[in-house]
Amino acid sequence: MAGRRIFNEQGAGAVLRFGLRVVSMRVRYGGDYNPEQWPREVWEQDVQLMQEAGVDLVTVGVFSWALLEPREGVFSFDWLRDVLDLLAGAGIGVDLATPTAAPPAWLSARYPDVLPIDPTGSRYSYGSRQAICVCSPNYRAKARAMVARLAAEVGSHPAVEMGHVHNEYACHVPYCYCDNHAKAFREWLAHRYGSLDNLNAAWGTTFWSQTYTDLDEVVPPRMTAAFVNPSLDLDYKRFCSDAFLEEFLEERTILKSARPDLAVTTNFMGFYRPLDYFQWAAHVDVVSTDNYADPADPEWPMYSAMHYDLSRGLNKDVPWMVMEQSASRVNWRSHNLPKQPGHMRAMSYQAVARGATGVLFFQWRASRAGAEKFHSAMVSHAGTASPVWAEVTELGSELASLDELENAPVEAKVAMVISWPSWWALEAPGQPSRDLLLADQLLWVYRPLYERGVTVDFCSPDERLDRYDAVIVPSLYLLSAGQAANLVSYVQAGGTVVASFWSGIVDECDSVYLGPYGGPLRPLMGCDVVDVAPLRSGETLELKWETGESGGGVFWADVIAECEGRVLARVTGGGLSGRPIVVESNYGDGRAYYVGSRLDAATTAHLFDLVPALRGDATSSRGGLAVERVVRAGPNWRYEFLINFAAEERELEVGAGGLELLTGVDVGPSVSLKPSGIVIIRHPVT
């Protein structure tokens, strides 16, 4: 496998082309457009400014329910049709949104069951957005009626290119605990388990006398006195993700039945725990995501890269795009720092480098009133006098010239496996360490790869992995037998897996695999994990590589008994002294590394140096956030993106060089990049 260039088969970089309609031949540019907040005179000006900025796609109608249905059953589409006409006249495409994320006041007032209930039994109030119980029959009926009317009235308008269902599903209230949820949960359970005996067995209800004698006794995990049954909690999380998905599919079906060729999306939020985005992404024609990396965090470029690598990976058969980013500040953190000059542009190219087919903003024009009036926008309160406007127009004109990136997917040879059910179960109460968070486990392994310029595809444990040279498995706590077989057969066929502690611990029901830990993943472990020993915060586990170097781990130690694997490193002090902590084993034609602690940065680097696919590239800088390098590779050309996130100018070797796409001039053999500087160098495929 090593040495073979492996591409994503499809997806990243592909043209947004669905059915009869061509949605995109270029990197799309635009944002949420909320004309309902403005008088008509402003609309004309908006469209002119959009043309000036190179905008060619806007999301319209996303929070317009109260205007589209001002009174129950009374609809008003003329204003929307006028907006669409204006946009069509200017050649600006529309991502038509369903307005179901913001039910109107009349709906919540008249049908209180559309409002969700918290775990204590209190009902949320209206007066904001997203106060939705997705299992409320009233909400569902009104949402269906609204979407059907929207599709019938304007779905076939020539401006409409895409359908945008709802907005950030589950964003503000991911879990509702009402009786409608309880009823739907019981139906979901009946379908999943078939019988009460199966349910009791799956949930281990003999523990703490939780046995159910009737399905109606099952309630959502509301306020409980002690830890809730984690198996119940896990299934409730599965059910809630599915319940939102069911509502999404209902809206999607209505949009598509009115217009079968419509490309439909809904905007995701990156690593958002409540929704299993792998499941969701199977039902969208375009993955879209909202990225608000915090400018106050010095590591924002890495967080942003990681968000994009996930978005690209959720469904590798469809394109992906940034549906929302901010032009500068947001207004919902406690301190909302602006983006520094050049950072918005750099972050946008970061998305394109990682395969995005569109870069859009929330929102087009900053609001005068409402909860987000101090959120930045493409058109600020100061209008075109704002420095943001210059950045917005510059980027729009540049993106218009990148058509040739079509069909040049992102080159990624390394996969990182994540699973939402495993995430849910891992972070349930009652674990050996309460601080065991998936985000920390992912960052531990993603950060050094990012710093080495190794591009990572996030993958589900259910998908085929044979396109990758190495697969990283950070704390995949919940693992089905089928998922484990997938990983094992990947190694058998010649792949390399690096797996960390607390992987393969429980089955799909959150019941422990007995024997030494690891369950169906044990063929790849080469050792027996006979117990676990979380460390104190700040404590270091000292270790020594067999080659003599010292190292350290933090947070956690597996208690490992040696067996057939080759011990690469052992603990050197304390009660675990002499025990293996990093073990290598051969399996079939491949190799696996098992790591029993969260190695510190230098020790992780040592481990990754052992694996060719994880060594990185000499042209990317090591040991700090500096120049990001990502390659998109098409049939004739390889496009090398270099983005300087360092605070000072950087000089880089670029081999023979080639045409630089943004300036249209040849560069090489070295290029110099100012802070936030970007080059896209086109190299011939050799």
Site residues (vs ligand GLA, CB under 6 A):
167-168, 290, 292, 324, 330, 362, 372, 375
Q: How far is the CB of 168 from ligand GLA (least distance, A)?
A: 5
CA geometry: angle 376, 25, 35, nearest 5 deg: 35
**Of 161, 251, 324, 398, which is the active-site residue?**
324
- Is position 168 annotated as part of the catalytic site? yes
What span, in angstroms and rounded, lies between the C-alpha atoms of 357 and 15? 7
Nearer to ligand GLA, 290 or 507 (CB): 290
| CA distance linking residue 411 with residue 15, whole number of Å | 17
| In the complex, least distance from residue 70 CB atom to ligand GLA, rounded to whole angstroms | 21
Q: Which residues, 6+ apart, have CB-to-CB distance to 637 below 8 Å?
A: 404, 408, 682, 683, 684, 685
CB neighbour class for 273 (10 Å; exposed up to 12, middle 13-18, buried from 19) = middle
The whole-angstrom separation of Cα 152 and Cα 383 is: 36
Query: Which residues, 6+ apart, have CB-to-CB distance to 603 below 8 Å?
Result: 543, 551, 552, 553, 569
CB-based closest residue to ligand GLA: 290
Size (the chain), residues: 686
- Least distance CB 372 / ligand GLA (angstroms): 6
**Packing angle of the helix pair 343-353, 300-314 (nearest 10 deg):** 30
Q: Pick the closest to residue 500 from 562, 410, 417, 378 (CA basis).
A: 417
Whether 640 sits among the annotated catalytic residues: the reply is no
Q: Which one, 264 or 582, has the nearer CB to ligand GLA?
A: 264
Would you say 275 or 627 has its CB closer to ligand GLA?
275
In the complex, least distance from residue 94 CB atom to ligand GLA, rounded to whole angstroms = 17
The least distance separating ligand GLA from the CB of residue 31, rounded to whole angstroms, comes to 10
Q: For residue 549, give the DSSP letter.
A: -
- Burial category of 434 from C-beta neighbours within 10 Å (exposed 0-12, middle 13-18, buried 19 and up): exposed
Q: Which of 69, 161, 168, 451 is catalytic?
A: 168
| CA separation for the pair 15, 13 (Å, rounded) | 6
What is the pairing mode between strands 496-500 and 470-473?
A: parallel
**Least distance in angstroms from the C-beta of 474 to ligand GLA:** 27
476 Cβ contact partners less than 8 Å away, ≥ 6 residues apart: 417, 418, 419, 422, 461, 483, 499, 503, 504, 521
Q: How far is the CB of 43 from ligand GLA (least distance, A)?
A: 20
Q: To 10 degrees, what angle do helices 137-154 and 78-89 make?
A: 50
Active site residues per annotation:
168, 324
